Amino acid sequence: MKHRQILFCACILFGATAFAQVPQKPLSPPLVTDLYSADPSAHVFDGKIYIYPSHDIDAGVPENDNGDHFDMRDYHVYSLEAPGKKIQDHGVALDIKHVPWAGKQLWAPDAAVRNGTYYLYFPAKDKQGVFRIGVATSKSPAGPFQALPEPMKGSYSIDPCVFTDDDGASYMYFGGIWGGQLQRWRTGQYNEAGALPQDQEPAVGPRMAKLTNAMTEFAEPLRELRIVDAAGKELLNGDNNRRFFEAAWMHKYKGKYYLSYSTGDTHLICYATGDSPYGPFVYRGVVLKPVLGWTNHHSIIEFKGKWYLFYHDSTLSGGKTHLRNIKMTELKYNADGTIQTISPYLD
């Protein structure tokens, strides 16, 4: 792992400084400018776009390979009547001090709805420093949300995404390596010394499971998703331009399931497609090229017949990787269902 930690630190420096020195015009302006925000999970509820990002702060924590400098402590919910309209901040939706089991670090959340109740899913480290996934509920998509007293049974790691299929079944996808701790769960049990596979071994995949109708528990054992190449071979751990790192997102387009995710240290949003929410998923290409800052995290939705990509960069902070701002842009498909790659900056 030592060479990976060195690479991680080098990439942080590259993301925070080298990217900032390149004079580029952003493709899209920040949606929120009075606070730092990141990891936007967007959904259409009640005919409006609701965005559930993390809330970046400068907590004074030094950067390290565990991501401790991402020390977020609450969530805000935002809404848009339509793209281009003024964004509305609905205020603090959940604060870590109101999550009984949580210790620190409210990282990237997601949301879902069933039978008039809205669910906010969020990762946080518990009192022992292990990432778990919590659930909070509200009768409004804007919150505020009230956290359940315990995290989801059997949950771990980060970046929950909840996808509801056409038949009403909901599935959670989650996980992230390095600071997201997914490599510590490779055996199914927590091992703080757990390491990633060797470069020529299959990469660690995101976890997923169907949710119960109550939306607060897994309805089945967790599965590890397989992401394969065109020949059906699993992507390898050393394939840093294509393998999964974090930020899994699921959407459906013309009957196909699209799993998109961040490659982390190579700063890409990639995607793979499959015929089932369980996969396997065949790698198809790049959705979004690298952004200013180290992290790359996104969501994809359809709104009134058009598709949109939500993402973040660090333009507001001048390239500080832990102080980001959310953005959106239109996403387009080719006739064969492939996604047109987006550059976040204009030439």
- Determine the Cα–Cα distance for residues 247 and 160; give it in Å rounded to an integer: 8
Q: Which of 56, 110, 159, 246 is catalytic?
A: 246
Q: How many CB atoms lie within 10 A of CB 126?
A: 17
> Which neighbouring-strand residues pair with 69?
none
Q: Is 246 a catalytic residue?
A: yes
Q: Which of 39, 63, 110, 239 is catalytic?
A: 39
Nearest to 37 by CA among 287, 290, 328, 260: 328
Q: Which residues contact 76 (CB under 8 A, 6 or more apart)?
A: 35, 37, 53, 55, 89, 90, 91, 92, 93
Nearest to 292 by CA among 12, 8, 9: 12
Sign of CA dihedral 19, 25, 30, 35: positive
Q: Across the chain, which distance is largest between two alpha carbons, in Å?
A: 50
DSSP one-letter string for 193-256? T--PPPTTSBPPPPEEEEBPTTSSSBSS--EEPPEE-TTSPBPBTT-TTTS--EEEEEEEETTE
Tokens of 272: 């793979």
Active site residues: 39, 246
